[in-house]
Amino acid sequence: MSKYYITTPIYYINDVPHIGHAYTTIAADVLARYHRAKGDDVFFLTGTDEHGAKIAEAAAKAGKTPREFVDDLRPKFKETWKKLNISYDQFFATTNPKHEEYVQDFVEDLEQNGFIEKREYEGLYCVACEKFLKEAELVEGCCPDHKKPPVKQKEENYFFKLSEFQDKLLERIESGELEIGPASRKNEIVGKIKQGLEDISISRAAVEWGVAFPGDPKQTIYVWIDALLNYYTATKIYGDDIETSPSPSHPLHLASHQAEEELSAGGPAWPANLHLMAKDILWFHSVIWPAMLLAADLPLPKKVFAHGFFTVNGQKMSKTIGNVIDPNEVVDKYGADAVRFYLLSAFPFGEDGDVSLEKLDQAYNKLANEVGNLVQRTLSMINKYSIDPKLEARSLKLGKVKIPDSRFQIPVAEELNNLDFAGALRKIMTVAEEQNKYIAEKQPWTLAKEGKADLLNEVLLSVYNNLVGLSDALLPFIPETAEKMKKQLETLEPEPIFPKLT
Ligand code: MSP
């Protein structure tokens, strides 16, 4: 059994989750479910990023303390993920006191290892990005992503010596030890690292809502350092080695090795197999995060993959434009499966794309026609034609038919290993289309009329077996539908899976 530890970003909890957050989380869920079905020891982590100026500002605006604010919003994320059938193993909140302690320990480790230095710093800070921007990055004096001017900040801060990791990072990335995908983005990252890495400030004097900097309570730890560490501290908090490895000098380091050895039932162990996110935060995950781990002598994640950004009806999703899609609303109308299916089949994972409610509607109908109807028709015919005693005897056995033989399995391992969700779904839907065509061509009703019982039996058995293969392949993508299919294939009682949209 191999371990598979997969993560989503922890989303800023300054507002309710939107469809963009759902996109990454659904993709991670498909992989988690796929690996579970394969028998891997999966740990799927998601959560919320709860500290920093951005959250403190949102809380103030809502007239709440930051703590009240995040405690009130956190359930919204959990509810949305539940609605979308997200099978996470843990929901991580950075306000977890254990996490805060481990973050401080980690920063102390970096200090002990000589990678932290106090310096005067003046820079342009974008609160929405929670990062300093360079003059050259600004577009007409504004942050290119948020279209707002950054604020000038002058502080004495603690710096992480990122510049010392340029060669080590390049070595790990170019050797493939740290995999970055897709390839085009890997090349961008490598090019940028080669231009040189600058040390980064990892504390804030002006931000109160955060983890206190060890030894200097007037400063808090930079929210991104706190956030990235969630992937690692989760293995300390929820891993199987909890409290089993007290080591006063390097508690984090030793525990991680133990965790790797001791992992047995379900707990996460460092390193992660895959960090998923969009391109906006790839630099943090493929450069800053690995450098932090190298500085603490910890293993690097195996793979970091950035998908694209999507627009809605050709425009960036924004509250001002009013085109933000609430995942809860679309799930209420179309069900979780159609939303999951649509988002992952709309455009290639890794590229930018566009989504719209009209196309979601079409995707729902495609599922209803190609898959839902196919199940109904097949099972109705199996029931209807089993009047023939010979057929009846066989059809009674249908539910227990020993399958699938390899003919009926739809091989999507390669696509899923490459995170090609759209490709996998295309392959699966092709099988459904072929079965529909096969029925149209063989016309079981004509075979019945002509008394060709053996042929009729063979045709329906073949479709039946393909439906079993289909339900297996669909399981990670649209679990509710796949479960319904499996149940109906077992009981041979057809029930509508995709009701007509009202
Ligand atoms: N809190 C940080 C992440 C810290 S991880 C250690 C953060 N949060 S965020 O709320 O802004 O989430 C960003 C992520 O949300 C993106 O990387 C992506 O996963 C997802 N997306 C948000 N909008 C999206 C689109 N319009 N399209 C695709 N993904 C989107 O950054």
Atom in ligand 1 nearest the alpha carbon of residue 317: 26
- As for ligand 1, residues whose beta carbon falls within 6 Å of it are 9-12, 20-21, 23-24, 49, 227-228, 230, 277-278, 280-281, 309-310, 317
Contacts of 193 (CB under 8 A, 6+ apart): 166, 169, 170, 173, 287
- Helices 97-112 and 251-262: crossing angle in degrees, nearest 10, is 120
In this structure, are residues 239 and 267 in contact, taking their beta carbons and an 8 Å threshold? Answer: yes
In this structure, are residues 276 and 32 in contact, taking their beta carbons and an 8 Å threshold? Answer: no
State the distance from the centre of ligand 1 to the C-alpha of 22, rounded, in angstroms.
9
486 pLDDT band (50/70/90 cuts)? very high
State the pLDDT at residue 266: 65
Q: Which of 98, 118, 147, 316 is catalytic?
A: 316
Distance CA 206, CA 127 (A): 12
State the pLDDT at residue 404: 39
Active-site residue, 250 included: no
Distance CA 120, CA 223 (A): 19
Beta strands in 77-208, from DSSP E residues, in sequence order: 90-93, 116-126, 131-133, 151-160, 179-181, 200-201, 203-204
- Is the pTM value of this prediction over 0.85? yes
7 pLDDT band (50/70/90 cuts)? very high
State the pLDDT at residue 241: 54
Atom in ligand 1 nearest the alpha carbon of residue 230: 6
Active-site residue, 142 included: no
243 pLDDT band (50/70/90 cuts)? very low
Q: Mind listing the domains of the chain with CATH numbers? A: 3-161+199-270 (3.40.50.620), 356-491 (1.10.730.10)
Q: Which of 129, 236, 275, 285 is catalytic?
A: 129
Contacts of 3 (CB under 8 A, 6+ apart): 40, 41, 42, 43, 263, 269, 273
State the pLDDT at residue 407: 54
Rg (CA), the chain: 26
State the distance from the centre of ligand 1 to the C-alpha of 37, rounded, in angstroms.
27
Name residue 48's amino acid: T
262 pLDDT band (50/70/90 cuts)? very low
Q: What is the pLDDT of residues 142-173, one digit of tens each?
A: 999 888 999 998 889 999 999 999 999 999 99
Active-site residue, 129 included: yes
11: which strand partners? Answer: 48
Query: In a mutational test of the pocket of ligand 1, which residue from 81, 127, 309, 315 has the highest number of ligand atoms less than 8 Å from its CB?
Result: 309
Q: What percentage of the chain exceeds 70 in pLDDT?
A: 91
Q: What is the pLDDT of residues 86-139, one digit of tens each?
A: 999 999 999 999 999 999 999 999 999 999 999 988 889 999 998 999 888 999
Atom in ligand 1 nearest the alpha carbon of residue 312: 26
Averaged pLDDT score across all residues of the chain:
90
Q: Are strands 310-312 and 179-181 parallel, antiparallel or unpaired?
A: unpaired
